[in-house]
């Protein structure tokens, strides 16, 4: 392989824009549409790598913001890069760090140079720039790295969105110029533009001119709502190059993933399986269940009948409820595992439906296609937003 990323488009659905593909990196390949569990601080919280692999996950995501602040990207590099650090020999993607600054840090300034903020760990002032984001991501050594962008608040006026797009495009060029390991790591560009079609399309056009090996769609699932998100995807995704992977950042509920696959998106990540799992919230095809509920006290069924995950093969609902009430780590561990497997089984079924030319029917009839916002557990942990 001469380039660090190869995307094979295996097939497209006849009645929708859904695509079946495979991405090959220097650390192995993953099938698309793909779901990436989130390993914020260098671990998928509570789940050892052998169990993550057993969920069918083929690529995981780590957060540049967190690792930059602690333990520091140089430390990760000295320990042999993120693959060794996380003990994940397969593909890894890192984000640019920008989104976490917006959501977690005390921001002092956004300007054309970057973001200046106070660390949520020690209060120190840090300026994150396109160049620094690239340096950090080069140190971490993920297979896919993300351009540093501005994810503008969707409630801001279109003039601000325009300014954020302009900044995102300038930063994209700076990222390309700063990227020191183009033979090892594939840098994806990020489309911004809020819910404005012309802004989105002009952003896409200019990013295509920069010839990234893959493209992400950012600034969605940040409060604009499902209809608006789907509308943006309906014109943004098809405008992206057919022969390159498309990644919808931070999404989402099963309903959202299925809707985005329909528009031609290939890659997803979301903290919901793990965060909800830590809060005793289990995804099932017939709707979510909250394992702290007393009705599960002597329930000898698995979390989800028919699920093949380690938790469902091994433990009863009653035991898992007890683990949560007793404050035992096994509660969060077991539901994180189940929820990741739930997502990966969904992706397997999505890919199979596309392969068999029946994705439209699948999306219309599968009960998981309606699992949405009501399914979100209360966020009790902001660490992996």
308 is known as an active-site residue: no
H or E element, residue 274: helix 272-278
Does residue 283 contact residue 339 with C-beta atoms inside 8 Å? Answer: yes
For its own copies, the closer of residues 38 and 258 by Cβ is: 38
- Angle, CA of 298, 303 and 304, to the nearest 5°: 130
> Which one from 13, 81, 95, 384 is the annotated catalytic residue?
95
Residues 6+ apart with CB under 8 A from 112: 167, 170
Backbone angles phi, psi at 302, to 5 degrees: -75, 170
In the complex, the residues that contact its own copies under the rule CB under 8 A are 41-43, 45-46, 48-51, 66, 70-71, 75, 78-80, 84-87, 297-298, 300, 310, 314-316, 318-319, 321-323, 325-330, 332-334, 383
Cα–Cα distance measured from residue 17 to residue 19, given in angstroms and rounded to the nearest whole number: 6
CB 302 within 8 A of CB 337: no
Neighbour count for residue 194 (Cβ, 10 Å): 26
> Closest distance between its own copies and the C-beta of residue 88, in Å?
10
Looking at 143, 256, 269, 384, which residue is catalytic?
A: 269
Q: Minimum Å distance from CB 308 to its own copies?
A: 15
Nearest to its own copies of 79, 355 (CB atom): 79
Complete edge-to-edge strand list for the sheet that includes strand 60-62: 34-36, 267-269, 246-248, 215-217, 186-191, 144-146, 92-94, 60-62
Locate the DSSP E strands across 13-78: 19-25, 28-32, 34-36, 60-62
Q: What's the closest the beta carbon of residue 304 comes to its own copies, in angstroms?
A: 16
Whether 269 is a known active-site residue: answer: yes
312 and 304 in contact (C-beta within 8 Å)?
yes
Please give the helix or strand (H or E) that residue 312 lies within, else none: helix 310-314
Q: Say how many residues make up the chain.
A: 385
| Residue 158 to residue 160: CA distance in whole angstroms | 5
In the complex with its own copies, the residue whose CB is nearer, 2 or 294, is: 294
Nearer to its own copies, 188 or 310 (CB): 310
Residue number, 298 or 370, with CB nearest to its own copies: 298
DSSP assignment string, 338-350? HHHHHHHHHHHHH
Question: How would you classify the pairing of strands 246-248 and 215-217?
Answer: parallel
Query: Nearer Cβ to its own copies, position 15 or 74?
Result: 74
Nearer to its own copies, 11 or 49 (CB): 49
Bridge partner list, 146 = 188
Catalytic residues: 95, 269
């Amino acid at each position: 392989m001469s380039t660090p990323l190869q995307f094979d488009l295996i097939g497209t659905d006849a009645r929708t824009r859904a695509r079946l593909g495979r991405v090959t990196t220097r650390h192995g390949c993953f099938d698309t549409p793909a779901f990436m569990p989130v390993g914020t601080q260098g671990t998928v919280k509570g789940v050892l790598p052998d169990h993550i692999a057993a969920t069918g996950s083929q690529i995981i995501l780590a957060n540049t913001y967190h690792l930059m602040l602690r333990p520091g990207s140089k430390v990760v590099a000295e320990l042999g890069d993120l693959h060794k650090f996380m003990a994940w020999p397969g593909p890894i993607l890192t984000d640019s760090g920008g989104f976490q600054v917006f959501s977690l840090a005390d921001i002092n300034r956004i300007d054309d140079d970057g973001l200046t903020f106070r660390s949520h760990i020690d209060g120190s002032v840090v300026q994150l720039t396109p160049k620094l984001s690239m340096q950090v991501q080069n140190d971490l050594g993920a297979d896919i790295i993300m351009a540093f962008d501005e994810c503008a608040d969707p409630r801001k006026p279109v003039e601000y969105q325009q300014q954020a797009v302009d900044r995102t495009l300038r930063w994209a060029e700076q990222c390309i110029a700063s990227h020191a390991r183009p033979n090892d790591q594939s840098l994806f560009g990020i489309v911004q533009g809020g819910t404005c079609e012309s802004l989105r399309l002009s952003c896409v056009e200019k990013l295509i001119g920069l010839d990234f090996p893959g493209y992400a769609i950012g600034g969605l699932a940040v409060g604009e709502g499902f209809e608006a998100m789907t509308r943006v995807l309906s014109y943004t995704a098809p405008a992206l190059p057919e022969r390159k992977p498309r990644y919808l950042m931070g999404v989402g509920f099963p309903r959202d993933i299925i809707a985005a696959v329909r528009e031609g998106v290939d890659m997803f990540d979301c903290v919901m399986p793990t965060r909800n799992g830590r809060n005793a919230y289990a995804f099932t095809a017939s709707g979510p269940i909250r394992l702290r509920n007393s009705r599960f006290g002597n329930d000898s069924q698995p979390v989800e009948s028919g699920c093949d995950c380690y938790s469902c093969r091994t433990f009863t609902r009653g035991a898992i409820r007890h683990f949560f009430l007793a404050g035992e780590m096994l509660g969060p561990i077991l539901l994180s595992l189940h929820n990741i497997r739930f997502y990966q089984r969904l992706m397997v079924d999505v890919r199979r439906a596309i392969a068999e030319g029946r994705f439209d029917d699948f999306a219309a009839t599968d009960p998981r296609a309606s699992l949405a916002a009501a399914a979100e557990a209360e966020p009790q942990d902001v660490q992996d937003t």
